[in-house]
């Protein structure tokens, strides 16, 4: 669906540039994630036989990527995908702070803290 | 190879249907994976949460650019949604598969009944001179060919619904849009189009909070998750365009029947009865 440019000026946020920037950020994150997953798929098809599994830890990712292991590209692609909504909240935090909208800046920080807590508790329970 | 294609097909259907009715797609993906492809429910939930992030991101690219999503309301409700998702993810990872299947089936019954009963309503009108408040917004509705202005009411109700929706999301691997959309529309005075768009935006962060828990615990199986994510991304992209050409009332009625049938099958499977 296309909306005429004039309509962008009536967006829910007063700054249409912010809307455009957020949209670009989401598109970039999704595109990078899908590209990494597709590289993993190509490597799996090119080197069939071995089971595709998780890379055991974040620190093992560079080695897996360097060795062109499909699991490394799959994990990195999924991580980039999961990081994209968080990156959108970071972008909002910066935008709100720049405009001195302190309440929304604080709300954005709270969301990021809960996401960080999720990662911490997940790793601790793993 | 056939199994991988079927996984991608389940993702495609979930993404297409989900994006057409403003849901994350988990309500279709989880029964599809568990009932038809034999994926263990914990792996299905983990894959579904990642897929919901993909559905949300795909849909939000357009919603944010077209200024339909209310980012201030979205980020405010995300505080409750992420807290709920975090607790739901932690509990979900510990529950048995029979309990999860039964709870999921019960939630699906409720959703299918809601979808079957809901009626289209006109967007709330706001006088030109009225203030939008801290969270209110305006957008241009192409179908109505006019600018829609709205205030956001009863934020505490929205935060409570967000907490519940987030909890269900983390627990069951669904997006939670089936609860946030009607709450925003019926309880908070947000027009349907803005509610669906804002919900789509929020689902990504909500599912992310739950998915991170599963990912860190090694429960996101790439063999399952990757084909589903690729399928869901294509499905969500096409579904968001197809939605403009299909009468929403027909679509919702069909989906309600399908969901109801799947929910009954999920509940029966939880007690060890298979209809296949």
| Residue B263, in any domain of the structure | yes
Higher pLDDT, A56 or A87: A87
- Number of structural domains found in chain B: 1
Q: How confident is the model at residue A111 (pLDDT cuts 50, 70, 90)?
A: very high
Concatenated DSSP letters of A71-117? HHHHHHHHHHHHHHHHHHHHHHHHHHHHTT-HHHHHHHHHHHHHHHH
The pLDDT of residue B135 is 80
Lowest mean pLDDT across B18-32, B123-137, B169-183, B234-248: B123-137
Identity of the residue in B137, B215, B230 whose CB atom sits nearest the CB atom of A12? B137
Identity of the residue in A89, A121, A126 whose CB atom sits nearest the CB atom of B218? A126
Q: How confident is the model at residue A84 (pLDDT cuts 50, 70, 90)?
A: very high
d(CA B55, CA B266): 23
Phi, psi for B107 (deg, rounded to 5): -65, -40
For a pLDDT cut of 70, what percent of chain B falls above it? 80
A8:B66 CB<8 A: yes
Q: What are the structural domain ranges in chain A?
A: 16-125
Q: How confident is the model at residue B188 (pLDDT cuts 50, 70, 90)?
A: confident
d(CA A39, CA B66): 31
Q: Which domain holds residue B55?
A: 2-270
The pLDDT of residue A5 is 40
Q: Does B82 touch chain A (CB under 8 A)?
A: yes
If you average pLDDT over each of A41-55, A101-115, B122-136, which comes out highest?
Answer: A101-115
Distance from CA of A122 to the nearest CA of B (A): 4
- pLDDT per position as a tens digit, B195-230: 888 888 898 898 888 888 888 878 888 888 999 999
Identity of the residue in B64, B213, B218 whose CB atom sits nearest the CB atom of A54? B218
Reading the block at residue A118, the tokens are 């999720």
d(CA B218, CA A70): 16
| Residue B276, in any domain of the structure | no
The pLDDT of residue A25 is 95
* A25 chain-B contacts, CB cut-off 8 A: none
The pLDDT of residue B243 is 64
| Residues B95, B276 contacting (CB under 8 angstroms) | no
Q: How confident is the model at residue B23 (pLDDT cuts 50, 70, 90)?
A: confident
| Residue of A2, A4, A10, A12 for testing the chain B interface, max B β-carbons within 10 Å | A12
Cα A33 off chain centre by: 8
The pLDDT of residue A51 is 60
* B66 chain-A contacts, CB cut-off 8 A: 1, 3, 7-8
For a pLDDT cut of 90, what percent of chain B falls above it? 12
CA A7 → CA A16, B146, B198, B275, distances in Å?
Answer: 10, 10, 17, 51
* B82 chain-A contacts, CB cut-off 8 A: 111, 114-115, 118
Tell me the average pLDDT across B243-248. 61
Give the mean pLDDT of chain B: 79
Cα(first)–Cα(last) distance of chain A, in Å? 43
d(CA A24, CA A30): 10
d(CA B127, CA B87): 41
Reading the block at residue B157, the tokens are 């109700």
| Residue B74, in any domain of the structure | yes
Of A25, A90, A36, A126, the residue nearest B57 (C-alpha):
A25
| Residue B99, in any domain of the structure | yes
Looking at residue B34, the DSSP 8-state letter turns out to be I
Interface of A with B in 87-126 (CB under 8 A): 88-89, 92, 103-104, 107-108, 110-111, 114-115, 117-119, 121-123, 125-126
Reading the block at residue B69, the tokens are 């999503």
B139:A10 CB<8 A: yes
In this prediction, does ipTM exceed 0.90? no
| Residues B94, B255 contacting (CB under 8 angstroms) | no
Identity of the residue in B66, B134, B212 whose CB atom sits nearest the CB atom of A3? B66
The pLDDT of residue A12 is 47
Q: How confident is the model at residue B31 (pLDDT cuts 50, 70, 90)?
A: confident
What count of other Cβ atoms lies within 10 Å of the Cβ of residue A74? 29
Cβ contacts of residue B5 below 8 Å, gap of 6+?
Answer: B227
Cβ contacts of residue B261 below 8 Å, gap of 6+?
Answer: none
A126:B216 CB<8 A: yes
Q: How confident is the model at residue B274 (pLDDT cuts 50, 70, 90)?
A: low
* A52 chain-B contacts, CB cut-off 8 A: 222-223
> What residues does B141 pair with on adjacent strands?
B146
Q: Does B125 touch chain A (CB under 8 A)?
A: no
Lowest mean pLDDT across A102-116, B55-69, B90-104, B244-258: B244-258
* B43 chain-A contacts, CB cut-off 8 A: none
The pLDDT of residue A88 is 94
The pLDDT of residue A34 is 95
d(CA B146, CA A7): 10
d(CA A20, CA B9): 32
Bridge pairing between strands B137-141 and B146-150? antiparallel
d(CA B219, CA B216): 8
d(CA B208, CA B85): 9
Identity of the residue in A19, A88, A115 whose CB atom sits nearest the CB atom of B209? A115
B93:A125 CB<8 A: yes
Widest Cα–Cα separation across chain A: 56
| Residues B58, B19 contacting (CB under 8 angstroms) | yes
Q: Does B5 touch chain A (CB under 8 A)?
A: no
């Amino acid at each position: 669906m296309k909306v005429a440019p004039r309509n962008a000026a009536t967006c829910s946020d007063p700054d249409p540039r912010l809307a455009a920037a957020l949209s670009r950020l989401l598109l970039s994150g999704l595109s990078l994630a899908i590209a990494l997953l597709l590289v993993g798929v190509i490597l799996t098809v090119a080197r069939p036989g071995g089971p595709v599994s998780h890379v055991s830890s974040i620190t093992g990712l560079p080695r897996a990527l360097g060795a062109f292991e499909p699991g490394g590209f799959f994990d990195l692609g999924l991580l980039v995908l999961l990081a994209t909504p968080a990156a959108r909240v970071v972008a909002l935090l910066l935008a709100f702070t720049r405009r001195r909208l302190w309440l929304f800046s604080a709300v954005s920080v709270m969301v990021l803290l809960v996401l960080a807590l999720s990662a911490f508790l997940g790793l601790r329970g793993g | 190879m056939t199994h991988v294609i079927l996984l991608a097909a389940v993702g495609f259907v979930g993404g297409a249907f989900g994006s057409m009715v403003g849901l994350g797609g988990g309500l279709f993906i989880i029964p599809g994976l568990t009932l038809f492809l034999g994926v263990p429910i914990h792996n299905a939930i983990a894959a579904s949460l990642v897929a919901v992030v993909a559905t949300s991101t795909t849909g939000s690219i357009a919603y944010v650019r077209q200024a339909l999503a209310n980012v201030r309301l979205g980020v405010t409700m995300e505080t409750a949604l992420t807290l709920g998702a975090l607790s739901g993810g932690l509990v979900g990872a510990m529950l048995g598969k029979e309990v999860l299947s039964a709870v999921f089936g019960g939630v699906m019954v409720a959703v299918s009944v809601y979808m079957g009963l809901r009626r289209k309503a006109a967007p709330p009108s706001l006088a030109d001179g009225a203030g939008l408040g801290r969270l209110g917004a305006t957008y241009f509705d192409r179908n109505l060919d006019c600018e829609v202005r709205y205030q956001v009411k009863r934020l505490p109700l929205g935060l409570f619904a967000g907490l519940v929706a987030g909890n269900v999301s983390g627990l069951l691997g669904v997006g939670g849009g089936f609860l946030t959309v009607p709450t925003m529309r019926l309880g908070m005075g947000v027009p349907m189009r803005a509610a669906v768009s804002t919900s789509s935006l929020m689902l990504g962060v909500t599912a992310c909070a739950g998915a991170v828990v599963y990912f860190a615990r090694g429960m996101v199986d790439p063999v399952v998750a990757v084909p589903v994510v690729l399928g869901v991304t294509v499905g969500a992209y096409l579904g968001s365009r197809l939605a403009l050409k299909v009468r929403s009332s027909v679509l919702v009625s069909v989906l309600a029947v399908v969901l109801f049938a799947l929910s009954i099958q999920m509940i029966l499977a939880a007690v060890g009865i298979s209809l296949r």
